Amino acid sequence: MDALVFSILLLASALLGGFLGSLTGLGGGIVLVPLMVLAFGVDLKYAVGASLVAVIATSSGAAAAFVREGYTNVRVAVFLEVATVAGALVGAALAGLLPREAIAIIFGLTALYSAWGAAKPPAPAPPDPSPDALSTRLRLDSTYPTAHGMTPYRVHRIPGAFVVMIFAGALSALVGVGAGILKVLAMDRLMRLPFKVSTTTSNFMIGVTAAASAGVYFHRGQLEPALCGPVVLGALGGSLVGARVLPRIKTGTLRKIFAVLVALAGAELIRRALMGQLTPH
């Protein structure tokens, strides 16, 4: 395929991936990695590297606005980033040791679980007004804007969330996704953060997590500019368009379609890995 045609098609695909990822809250990586591997024949480890760079760009694009509007809990983000960055470094190191077939199977299982979460997202846990001793000591409790003004909330179960975040960071580095499913489990279900706070704080964190692991991929020479350029531009543009469209459309049906596509892509990656058909072309 001609290099220019390849770049244009990859840019268009990344645009679609970033758009769908922003509408479903799962990020574009869960679409971009299988698309690059299955449709464009890109080596899996290079696809993961390009996806991580795209995660950095899309996170940076939205994070500043959410912090300015008062949704992001920066203290929680910085505290949990210790866990996600540590996990990301471990995951990036493992990615250099594991064969691409093993990484493909892990990605496929992640895609299947993400598809299930997209099709039937759990209802957010109600905030718990009772104080938590460790949260009080670390001054993690905060407020966020609502229709009734700034509303206070409490943070809970910090040690458990910290452990989950280590696994989220490792998964993010290993397969090139934001690991939003695990971060929602930690922030929404364990820490009892309000839904908007958990999603915006997660968005703030994933760029830092991806940057840590992308450095390892760069050191190994697995960040290819010809891939990263179109993927970053497309994913960033798609996520910005998705963020503008999201308040005006109903995403229920779209989430189900997205879930089916992601599940099929994950299953196909697993099949190719088991059949030994992941050799790049």
Considering only residues 42 and 30, tell me which one the structure prediction assigns the higher pLDDT: 42
pLDDT in tens, 223-236: 999 899 999 898 88
Burial (CB count within 10 angstroms: exposed 0-12, middle 13-18, buried 19+), residue 4? exposed
Residue 22: pLDDT above 70?
no
Distance CA 189, CA 161 (A): 9
Inter-residue contact 91 to 178 (CB < 8 Å): no
Mean pLDDT (whole number) for 244-273: 76
Mean pLDDT (whole number) for 240-256: 68
Inter-residue contact 29 to 176 (CB < 8 Å): yes
Bridge partners, 146 (sequence order): 149
Show the DSSP H helices in the chain as ranges: 3-24, 29-38, 44-69, 74-97, 100-119, 133-138, 158-175, 180-184, 195-219, 225-245, 252-275
Inter-residue contact 217 to 52 (CB < 8 Å): yes
φ/ψ of residue 45, rounded to 5 = -70, -35
Distance CA 255, CA 6 (A): 28
- Banded pLDDT at 11 (limits 50, 70, 90): very high
Report the mean per-residue pLDDT for the chain: 82
Cα dist. 1→5, 36, 41, 139, 176 in Å? 7, 14, 11, 55, 25
Inter-residue contact 33 to 107 (CB < 8 Å): yes
Say what the pTM is.
0.79
